[in-house]
Amino acid sequence: GAGVSQSPRYKVTKRGQDVALRCDPISGHVSLYWYRQALGQGPEFLTYFNYEAQQDKSGLPNDRFSAERPEGSISTLTIQRTEQRDSAMYRCASSSTGYEQYFGPGTRLTVT
Amino acid sequence: ILNVEQSPQSLHVQEGDSTNFTCSFPSSNFYALHWYRWETAKSPEALFVMTLNGDEKKKGRISATLNTKEGYSYLYIKGSQPEDSATYLCAFIGTNAGKSTFGDGTTLTVKP
């Protein structure tokens, strides 16, 4: 595709439900990153992959958050038993070099 | 915890003014610094990737310098235009060459 895509763009869920956020990176990009962004702040690192291997998950807030990229392309960020504090914009980015990142449009998650 | 600080937080200038802002980052374990331009309701877009101490990059009216020894980078905009209004984010990449730590950005508003 022409750019990084994310789905859904908006997600409203009730507290306690599980959600899965999808990221489709630019074709051929080796690296894929997940960020969370609060209003008025820069992206906060969650985790990243090279190919299918999760290289660093130090930014995942707790064990309710997990991510996978089983075939080295599409990635899913899963949040289990959502809480209101999980409400944020979740952004995905991909990179061919590991440096310059191309960002997707984000998924706005609202937990009610 | 890595600290990447950007200042000022916001800036209002008149059309035609030149302006600059700062990104401060750890001076050790440096690998690269990225600058991104982020317009509201859009995704961050890469401006510059800087890797060497003393680097100076330029794209049109926007330029950036890098000092890795003292841990800062400046972004300059010459002759600001209303279309330059955006949030400018910097991201530090350490020697693990993967995880990016973003600052919270400088929001520039250029008044016609």
Q: State the pLDDT at residue B97.
A: 62
Measured CA to CA, the distance from residue A53 to residue A98 in angstroms comes to 14
Q: State the pLDDT at residue B57.
A: 96
Residue A20, class by beta-carbon neighbours within 10 Å (0-12 exposed, 13-18 middle, 19+ buried)?
A: middle
Hey, are the CB atoms on B49 and A99 less than 8 Å from each other? yes
Q: Which residue of A has its CA nearest to B93?
A: A99
Report the residue of A100, A102, A107, A108 to disrupt the B interface, i.e. the one with the largest count of B CBs within 10 Å: A100
Taking CA atoms, A32 is separated from A46, B13, B74, in Å, by 11, 36, 28
Query: Chain A closest CA to B76's CA: distance in Å?
Result: 20
Measured CA to CA, the distance from residue A24 to residue A9 in angstroms comes to 13
Pairing of strands A5-7, A53-56: unpaired
- DSSP 3-state assignment of A74? coil
HSE value, Cβ hemisphere, 13 Å, CA-based, for B107: 9
Taking CA atoms, B81 is separated from A16, B21, B65, B111, in Å, by 47, 16, 21, 8
Give the closest of A4, A55, A104 to B98, CB-based: A55
Q: Rounded to the nearest 5°, which phi and psi values hold at A84?
A: -60, -35
Taking CA atoms, B41 is separated from A34, A89, A90, B64, B86, in Å, by 18, 11, 13, 25, 11
Bridge partners, residue B89, by sequence: B36
CB B44 within 8 A of CB B37: yes
- Using a CB-CB cut-off of 8 Å, the residues of chain B touching A41 are 104-105
Q: Which residue of B has its CA nearest to A6?
A: B43
Question: For B60-89, what is each residue's pLDDT tens digit?
Answer: 999 999 999 999 999 999 999 999 999 999
Bridge partners, residue A30, by sequence: none
- Using a CB-CB cut-off of 8 Å, the residues of chain B touching A106 are 43
Q: Give the residue with greater pLDDT, B2 vs B43.
A: B43
Q: State the pLDDT at residue A100.
A: 85
Question: For A79-95, what is each residue's pLDDT tens digit?
Answer: 999 999 999 999 999 99
Q: State the pLDDT at residue B2.
A: 74
Q: State the pLDDT at residue B1.
A: 64
One pLDDT digit (tens) per residue for chain A, 112 residues: 579 999 999 999 999 999 999 999 999 999 999 999 988 889 999 999 999 999 999 999 999 999 999 999 999 999 999 999 999 999 999 998 757 899 999 999 999 9
- Using a CB-CB cut-off of 8 Å, the residues of chain B touching A48 are 98-99
Mean residue pLDDT of chain B comes to: 93
CB pairs under 8 A between A and B: 56
Query: Chain A closest CA to B4's CA: distance in Å?
Result: 10
3-state percent helix, strand, coil for chain A, nearest multiple of 5? 5, 50, 50
Backbone Cα Rg of chain B: 13
Q: State the pLDDT at residue B13.
A: 97
